[in-house]
Structure 1
Amino acid sequence: MSFKTTLFAGLMAATFAAPAWADIEVHDAYARSSNPMAGAAFMVIHNHGEVDDRIVSVTSDAAARVELHTHIEDADGVMRMVHVEEGMALPAGGEIIMKRGAEHVMFMGLTDPFEQDEIVTITFQFENADDLVVEIPVDQDRVDAGAHGGHGGHGDHGAGEDQSSHDH
């Protein structure tokens, strides 16, 4: 094998072994809090790559605990917020839409209350891609398309109350 062929083969191997983080983008992110101790972040996460991935966890210095959450309907027809311990699938060419009443990033035990227009930094850890750091503006007034009302209920997370009456 010539030097040029060896170099080309090495470059091709490095290209295909490159981390997929460049193919994952976050759009339309914002955070808000329901009280001085709890908050949530919402966004759209796109996987423009050709490889399925999974968000396995999320971290932030903004809170004592940061988790991936969603809402599920229990046997009584009540929607409850739950920690998604197995992470969230991010298919190749697909997206995760994090919005109130659905998937979101949950902050519990805020180190400081979220203030309008400040920036909250989070880091997503993926199964395949490198970690992705995202800076998210706090917008206490924002209402998602299709959302009705405020983002209540997170302050009582884990209290077992009926979450169905709250808009997330």
Structure 2
Amino acid sequence: MNAPQAKKRFVQSCKQLALGLSLVGLGFQVSAQTRVDDAWVRATVAGQPSSGAFMTVTASSDSKLLSVQTPVAKLVQIHEMSMKDDVMKMQQVPSVALPAGKPVSFNPNGYHIMLMNLTGQINEGDKVPLTLTVEDAKGEKESIQIEAVAKAINTMDHSKMMHDHSKMN
């Protein structure tokens, strides 16, 4: 084989490899239908029986969060916090709708994940494994495994606060 033929064969092989890798990449994009961001769990004190998990979930197609599991709790439920007649109410819900492309926030004042009958204390900085089960409109289920970092109950994210330092002495 002469040099021009070898170069042509090499270029053709590179193109085939690039095409193959791009197809693999598309396959991963199709299977990654739901994204979970900013997952955290509230740290506990010794003997505390429950905690909460919080995150933002974004599905690529209309879906719903069906359940969450973790080895740190014997019972896990999806709850919703609401106000009715000036009374705060928390109740279990069977699922949470995840509209296509719209982030759904799970936070202490709305939907959240209750971790009950804890198997031990959750310390600040611990990484808590969570497995979310999401079902799309076609009935296909997706299992998403994440690690949520444990934060102290008094932890505040000051980076998102507005500060006016001009009045300080």
Same fold (TM over 0.5): yes
Give the length in aligned residue pairs: 128
Equivalent position of 2:32 in the other structure:
22
- What's the CA shift for 1:108? 0.6
Equivalent position of 1:107 in the other structure:
115
C-alpha offsets along residues 30-65 of structure 1, whole Å, 9 cap, x if unaligned? 111455211001111112x2x200001111111111
* 1:41 paired to 2:39: no
User: 1-side partners of 2:31 and 2:68: how far apart?
Assistant: 15
| Shift >3 Å, 4+ stretches | 18-21
Equivalent position of 2:8 in the other structure:
none
Checking the alignment, whether the CA contact within 8 Å between 1:71 and 1:102 is kept in structure 2 is yes
Q: Which has the larger radius of gyration?
A: 2
Equivalent position of 1:89 in the other structure:
97
TM-score w.r.t. the length of structure 1 is 0.67
Q: Secondary structure at the match of 1:114?
A: coil
User: 2-side partners of 1:106 and 1:20: how far apart?
Assistant: 30
% same residue: 27
Alignment of 1:118-137 (within 5 A): 118-128=126-136, 129-137=141-149
User: 1-side partners of 2:143 and 2:35: how far apart?
Assistant: 12
Equivalent position of 1:71 in the other structure:
81
Q: Secondary structure at the match of 1:130?
A: strand
Q: 1:130 to 1:80 in 2, by over 3 A?
A: same
- What's the CA shift for 1:21? 4.9
TM-score w.r.t. the length of structure 2 is 0.67
Equivalent position of 1:4 in the other structure:
none
- What's the CA shift for 1:120? 0.7
* 1:32 paired to 2:45: no
CA RMSD of aligned residues (A): 2.6
Q: 1:33 to 1:117 in 2, by over 3 A?
A: closer
Q: 1:59 to 1:19 in 2, by over 3 A?
A: farther
Query: What residue ranges of structure 2 are gaps of 5+ in the alignment?
Result: 1-25, 161-169
User: 2-side partners of 1:29 and 1:58: how far apart?
Assistant: 13
Q: Secondary structure at the match of 2:32?
A: helix
Q: 1:112 to 1:34 in 2, by over 3 A?
A: closer
User: 2-side partners of 1:109 and 1:132: how far apart?
Assistant: 23
Q: 1:78 to 1:99 in 2, by over 3 A?
A: same
